[in-house]
Chains A and B, each alone.
Chain A
Amino acid sequence: MNSVRADNRDPAPTLANADADRRLSLAWRALAAVEDPEIPALGIVDLGLIRFVTLEADGTLDVGLSPTYIGCPATEVIRRSVERALGSAGIGAFVVTQVLSPAWTSDWITADGRRKLEGYGIVPPERPAASMRDILRKARPVGCPRCRSTDTECISEFGSTPCKALHRCRACLEPFEYFKCI
């Protein structure tokens, strides 16, 4: 395209590229500031919920957003927060697309996200259960985030939010939350 443009007074293509880069980086910066409503320490980018930010041919920015759990009440809150953040980021036209497949997995939580979870007192997920035997017999003990003891027990497969399970440390007797592996 550039080669056919002899008129160098019109640097539009370069500007357009620069503008696209600027919009993409503004979008990512705005998204990085969106927190999970139920785990405020954690951003949605840390959680791995943003699947892509792409520039469509018509100039619209398409932002792919995945739900953690399809019935999670936070899903709609997150979507609205994302729309609000993008709306005030000065990035022009955008759409938010729900991405179901491939399904979100707790493996996509970033290293940074895992550190933040731990700092918040929630044990980050280990690995997805592979077999029925794993599923029926809780395979590996989950370490206590406070005293590091592995003498812990699962009190409930479900906790205060769809993404967490409830555990208890038998050493320091404190209850703690574990981010489920899915």
Chain B
Amino acid sequence: MNAASPVVREQELNADAQALFRYVLRLGDLSLVLGQRLGEWVGHSPALEEDLGLANVALDLIGQARLLLTYAGEVEGRGRGEDEIAFLREHGEYLNAILAEQPNGDFGQTIVRQVLIDAFQLEVYERMTTSSDERLAAIAAKSVKEVLYHLRYSGGWLVRLGDGTDESHARVQSALDNLWPYTVELFAEDALDRTMADRGVAPRLSDVQAAWLRRIDEILAEATLRRPKDRPHSWHGKRGQHSEHLGYILAEMQHLQRTYPGARW
């Protein structure tokens, strides 16, 4: 017994660390992939102000991703840093919900995607400030303020577009109809989400969903938009099964590190 118990404990520790590693990747990859997507707008936005706005949000998201992926690397304990995790993982190792990787479309579609994810991150980070994991609590405390500001930007635009012209209203309503089914995955609780919530590391996704829905309904009401009906979903970006879009994102994002391994800024 005496000889066996340390081994058992070590295995438990590894399983714990493995779960935390995957959970932190889910958070970090959501920020990283969305940040990369928003970066595609630089130089292409409808106006200079929106170029600045989207780039600034992207910068904050990549800042979040850096903190989270650095932490993931430490939890994993194999000596991987933020750059290796961001630039040298394969498609199936990315654990973001696939809403983040959906194409930018027109400006309205980008804004709809942004509102949906900003509100999600806001509800998650707000609750995570009291996480039993001190590091995540600190990252959440910092991120939640920035995310609130992101939602102010994206929510403000959704109201202007939704409650704007017939054309802008029709475009954002159609983007909302198209993107809504992907939101189901954000709240689809699996064993990992449950373990993290049980340990007090992460908030309960059902709580997050209820609060998210209240916030989204408030914005949609102001924007005179109609909330689409929930439909069953069959995607599992959080488990590493992605749409074809992620491959193109990674090809661009990882090109430099793969071509010139170890290149530094």
Q: Which residues of A contact B (CB under 8 A)?
A: 67, 69-73, 100-105, 128-129, 132, 135-136, 138, 155-160, 162, 166, 180, 182
Contact flag A71-B145 (CB < 8 Å), given A157-B53, A158-B53: no
Given contacts A136-B155, A136-B156, whether A182 and B145 have CB atoms under 8 Å apart is yes
Q: For B153, give the chain A residue with the smallest CB separation.
A: A157
Q: Which of A70, A159, A180 contacts B64 (CB 8 A)?
A: A70
Q: Is B40 an interface residue, CB under 8 A from the partner?
A: no
The complex places the Cα of A73 from the Cα of B55 at a distance, in Å, of 12
Cβ B215 vs Cβ A158 within 8 A: no
Q: Which residues of B contact A156 (CB under 8 A)?
A: 49-50, 52-53
Q: Which residues of A contact B145 (CB under 8 A)?
A: 103, 105, 128, 182
Which of A71, A73, A128, A159: most chain B Cβ within 10 A?
A: A71
Q: Considering the complex, give the chain B residue whose CB is closest to the CB of A131.
A: B218
Across-interface contacts of B151 in A (CB, < 8 A) = 135
Cα–Cα distance between A158 and B53 once the two chains are bound (Å): 5
In the assembled complex, the Cα of A105 lies from the Cα of B149 at a distance in Å of 13
Tell me if A70 and B66 are in contact (CB < 8 A): yes
A102 contact set on B, CB distance < 8 A: 141
- Residues from chain A with Cβ under 8 Å of B142 in the complex: 67, 70, 100-101, 103-104
Residue pair B149, A136 in contact (C-beta under 8 Å): no
Q: Is the CB of B152 within 8 A of A70?
A: no
Known interface pairs A135-B151, A182-B146. Does A69 touch B156 (Cβ–Cβ under 8 Å)? no
- Contact B60 A157, beta carbon cutoff 8 Å: no
Chain A residues with CB below 8 A from B52, complex form? 156, 158-160, 166
A157 to B222, CA, bound (A): 19
Beyond known contacts A70-B143, A103-B145, A180-B149: 14 more, CB 8 A cutoff: A70-B146, A71-B59, A71-B63, A103-B142, A103-B144, A104-B142, A132-B215, A135-B152, A136-B156, A136-B159, A136-B222, A138-B156, A156-B49, A158-B56
Q: Which of B49, B59, B137, B159 contacts A166 (CB 8 A)?
A: B49
Q: Please, how many angstroms separate the alpha-carbon atoms of A128 and B144 in the complex?
A: 13
Question: Within 8 Å of chain A (Cβ to Cβ): is B196?
Answer: no
In angstroms, how far is the closest chain A Cβ from the Cβ of B111? 12
Nearest A residue (CB) for B157: A157
Give the number of A-B contacts (CB < 8 Å). 90
Give the CA-CA distance A104 to B137 in the complex, in Å. Answer: 14
Are A72 and B159 in contact (CB-based, < 8 A)? no
Q: Is the CB of B148 within 8 A of A135?
A: yes
Q: Complex: how many Å from CA A102 to CA B142? A: 7
Q: Tell me, in angstroms, the Cα distance from A136 to B159 when the chains sit together.
A: 8
- Point out the residues of chain B lying under 8 angstroms from A69, CB to CB: 59-60, 63, 146
Q: For the complex, give the distance between the alpha carbons of A168 and B173 in Å.
A: 31
CA distance A159 to B59 in the complex (A): 13
Q: How far is the CB of B38 from chain A (nearest CB, A)?
A: 11
A132 to B149, CA, bound (A): 11
A70 cross-chain contacts in B, Cβ below 8 A? 60, 63-64, 66-67, 142-143, 146
Which chain B residues border A101 with CB–CB below 8 Å?
129, 137-138, 141-142
18 contacts between A and B (CB under 8 A): A69-B63, A70-B60, A70-B67, A71-B59, A71-B60, A71-B61, A71-B66, A100-B142, A101-B129, A132-B155, A132-B215, A135-B151, A136-B152, A136-B219, A157-B152, A162-B60, A180-B149, A182-B145
Closest to A66 in B: B142
User: Does B62 make an interface contact (CB < 8 A)?
Assistant: yes
Q: Is B249 an interface residue (CB 8 A)?
A: no
- Chain B residues with Cβ below 8 Å from A159 are 52
Q: How far is the CB of A98 from chain B (nearest CB, A)?
A: 9
Measured CA separation A47–B94 after assembly (Å): 37
Point out the residues of chain A lying under 8 angstroms from B61, CB to CB. 71
